Each structure stands twice: as C-alpha cells, then as structure tokens.
Amino acid sequence: MATLSLRWIGLTVAAGALLAILGPFGSYMNGGPIRLLSYWIGAMLLGLVLYGSAYRIVSARAAFGSRIWLGALVGATLLASIPEALVTRAVAFWLWPELMQLRLPLPVWFAQTATIGMIAMAGVGFALRRSASASRDDLAGLPSTGPIVAPLGGDVLALQMEDHYVRVHRSTGSELILMPLGRAIETMQAEGLRTHRSWWVATHAVTSVHGNARSMRLLLSNGVAAPVARSAVTRLKAAGWVAHDENRPADGKR
C-alpha cells in the first residue's frame, strides 16, 4: 500500500512539473519557473487528495466500468473541482498579484480546473481498466479446477457479487476484485455461508437477523445489510444463525 501511494505521489509530481513546463491556460506567461513548479505541483498534489478521494468513494459504491460508476465519477469530479478551483485561484493570486487585474471570472477558472480534473480521471480510469483487462486475461489462462489464490487477506466480513467482480466487505470499507464469487468463496478460510445468489457472509460478521423467511436480511458488524434468499433460510437455521422461530435470532443476539 505504501509503495502504491508513493507511486501515485511520484506520478502526480511529474504531472505537475509537466504542466509547469507546458503552461496551460496562459500560465506560461506568469513567469518565474520556481513559482510555476511550486504552483502546479502543489495544485496536482491537492488534486490527488480531492480527486483520489472522489474516485475511491465512487468505486466503493458502484461496479467499476458500469454506467452508474461512470455517471457518478463525472459528478464526483465536478464536485471535487469546486474546492480545487477555489484554492488554486487564491494561491495563484497570491503568487502573481497581477492576475487579479485580469478579472478572470470564477466560472472560467472552475471550467479550466474541471477540464484538467476530467482528463486526470479519464487517464486513471483507462489505466485501471487496462489493468483489470490484464487480470481477466490472467484468470482466463488458469486451470478451471482448484481455488485461485486471491488477495483476500484481513478480516473479510462478506463477499458480494457485482457483475464480473466481487466486492469484499471489511470492517474498514470495501474493495472490488475481478473474480467470480464462487472462486472468491473457495479462497476464504473463515467460516461462513452463501446467503444469497450474490452474497457470502462470514459467521463472525453477523450481529443481528431481521425479517422472516419471505424477507430476511443480516446486519453485519460494519453496518451493511446482507440479503437472505428464501432457499437459504433452511441452511441458516441448520447452522444456528436463525432460530426455528424465524422472527428472532437463534441466540437472541444476532
């Protein structure tokens, strides 16, 4: 994780230096290479925080590459561009007071900021899509028998199928991994049950059971509610997750 963060910081600094050399939107006329480098590298590092947070939030709530994901990412990029534009505008006026005389409207500054943000997001999305495609090709070349060793370390609370991906729910958040749900379940060492066609839940993650056989859901320790298919209720009863009285947990706590 630390290596990956350092890699993104390095790429961000390099991108800032490149923008300082190119001087987009007339910034090359501001002069002062040190100030240009400081401004653009600082702006890009701020963008890494804002746009990176936006990207993680969207990816945690929508399947990567889906229409919902794409629309949410555009909206999140525009929202992240608001503080980015306000901060960079204030810093630019401080570094180059003469810019204030140009009376550049804030909407124009925002449009310029959002343009760079959209380009950066598109670049990141393209790079991750290629990485996902490469991973899919690697998985396709593996034998169909035997479990796939997956990076599912840590305290996994539940697995949720989303198209060709599996969302791994943990106490600290969630992540998407390119893998069939069945293969992901095979890699799990913790005890658990398949509660739904698209869900697997770890035994220790269940804090309470709500509903009845017609509409049942499990509340997990991270606050996520996992659905229970009618056909899975019998398995949950046999495992002691649900009492024979369907409206209450077997131990009165879950």
What is the pTM (predicted TM-score) of this model? Answer: 0.53
**pLDDT given at position 149:** 43
Looking up tokens 């990956």 gives 4
Please say whether the beta carbons of 242 and 250 come within 8 A.
yes
Residue 62 is predicted with a pLDDT of 66
Taking a C-beta distance cutoff of 8 angstroms, is the pair 160, 169 a contact?
yes
pLDDT single digits (tens) 2-16: 455 778 788 889 988
User: Which CATH number is correct for 156-238, 2.40.50.1020, 3.40.640.10, 3.90.1170.40, 3.50.50.60?
Assistant: 2.40.50.1020
Nearest Cα neighbor of 154 from 1, 25, 14 is 1
Is the Cβ–Cβ distance between 91 and 27 less than 8 Å? no
Q: Which residues contact 108 (CB under 8 A, 6 or more apart)?
A: none
SS3 234: helix
Query: What would the pLDDT profile of 97-128 be if each residue is shown by its tens digit?
Result: 888 887 788 999 999 999 999 988 888 777 66
Listed in order, the ranges of the chain carrying CATH 2.40.50.1020 are 156-238
How far is it, in rounded angstroms, from Cα 11 to Cα 250? 53
pLDDT of residue 193: 92
Judged by average pLDDT, the poorest of 41-50, 195-204, 219-228, 241-250 is 241-250
